[in-house]
């Protein structure tokens, strides 16, 4: 009987690790496929739509964090962007999970954390010669498009198709 319990636990761990890895891989792929608009002062990261995933599962938190790290490295970001841009995503995902009881609140932390942190990296890490307030506005607008517009479309599609039970790994719909 103990062996059965361990097997069930191992399956759940494998499911969660697989889901986190899938979210990370999707984040990387979407960031790199849309690289021309994923980086810079005026950026719309299509991958930020995935910041809605903490609504469905806590494994989205490390998945988004790792995906952002890899995407930033592969996209040629400076070390400060890899560190602080990825931390902004981690903060947004973790706080989004805390707010998951109201799906409309889930994207807010990602929008706010990226709108505060990324402009500082752009200004002081990359030396962009733009006023900081303008960088904040540009990043915030891109985050609103990625997290709210695209993220809510993704959430609606997942909820409509009954993916919530598959994501949670328990068959519930």
Q: Rounded mean pLDDT of 13-18?
A: 92
Residue 71, domain member (yes or no): yes
> Could you list the residue range(s) of the whole structural domain that residue 46 is in?
2-168
The 8-class DSSP code of residue 173 comes to: -
CA-based torsion, 39, 147, 162, 18: positive or negative: positive
- DSSP assignment of 16-65 equals HHHHHHHHHHHHHHHHHHTHHHHSSSS---GGGGGGGGGGT-TTHHHHHH
Q: What is the mean pLDDT of the chain?
A: 91
pLDDT at 131: 98
Q: Taking residues 76-90, report their average pLDDT.
A: 98
| Assigned domain for 111 exists | yes
pLDDT of 7: 62
Residue 102 lies in a domain: yes
Per-residue confidence (pLDDT) for residue 171, from 0 to 100: 45
pTM of the model: 0.89
- At 57, is the pLDDT very low, low, confident or very high (cuts 50, 70, 90)? very high
Q: Is residue 14 part of a domain?
A: yes
> d(Cα 44, Cα 91) in Å, to the nearest integer?
19
- Which of 133, 159, 146 lies closest to 47 in space, CA to CA? 146
Q: Evaluate if residue 2 carries a pLDDT over 90.
A: no
Residue 157 lies in a domain: yes
- Judge whether residue 147 has pLDDT over 90: yes
CA 154-120-81 angle, to 5 degrees, is 65
3-class DSSP state of 170: coil
Please report the pLDDT score of residue 162 as a whole number: 79
Which DSSP letter does residue 54 get? G
**Into how many domains does the chain fold?**
1
- HEC-encoded secondary structure of 135-162: HHHHHHHHHHHHHHHHHHHHHHHHHHCC
Helix (H, G, I), strand (E, B) or coil at 163: helix
Q: What percent of the chain has pLDDT over 70?
A: 90
Determine the Cα–Cα distance for residues 44 and 41; give it in Å rounded to an integer. Answer: 10
CA–CA distance, 97 with 58 (Å, rounded to integer):
7
Residue 152 lies in a domain: yes
In a domain, 173, yes or no: no
Asked if 96 and 54 count as a contact pair (C-beta separation under 8 A), the reply is yes
**pLDDT reported for residue 173:** 42
Q: How far apart are the first and last CA of the chain?
A: 29
| Domain membership flag for residue 138 | yes
């Amino acid at each position: 009987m103990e062996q059965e319990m361990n097997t069930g636990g191992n399956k759940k761990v494998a499911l969660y690790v697989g889901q986190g890895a899938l979210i990370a891989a999707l984040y990387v792929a979407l960031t790199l496929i849309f690289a021309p608009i994923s980086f810079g002062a005026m950026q719309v990261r299509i991958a930020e739509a995935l910041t809605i995933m903490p609504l469905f599962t806590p494994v989205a938190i490390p998945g988004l964090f790792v995906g952002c790290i890899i995407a930033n490295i592969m996209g040629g970001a400076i070390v400060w962007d890899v560190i602080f841009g990825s931390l902004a995503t981690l903060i947004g995902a973790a706080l989004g999970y805390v707010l998951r009881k109201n799906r409309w609140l889930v994207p807010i932390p990602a929008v706010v954390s990226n709108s505060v942190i990324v402009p500082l990296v752009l200004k002081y890490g990359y030396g962009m010669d733009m006023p900081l307030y303008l960088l904040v506005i540009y990043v915030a607008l891109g985050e609103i498009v990625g997290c709210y517009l695209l993220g809510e479309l993704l959430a609606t599609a997942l909820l409509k198709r009954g993916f919530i039970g598959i994501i949670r790994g328990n068959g519930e719909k």
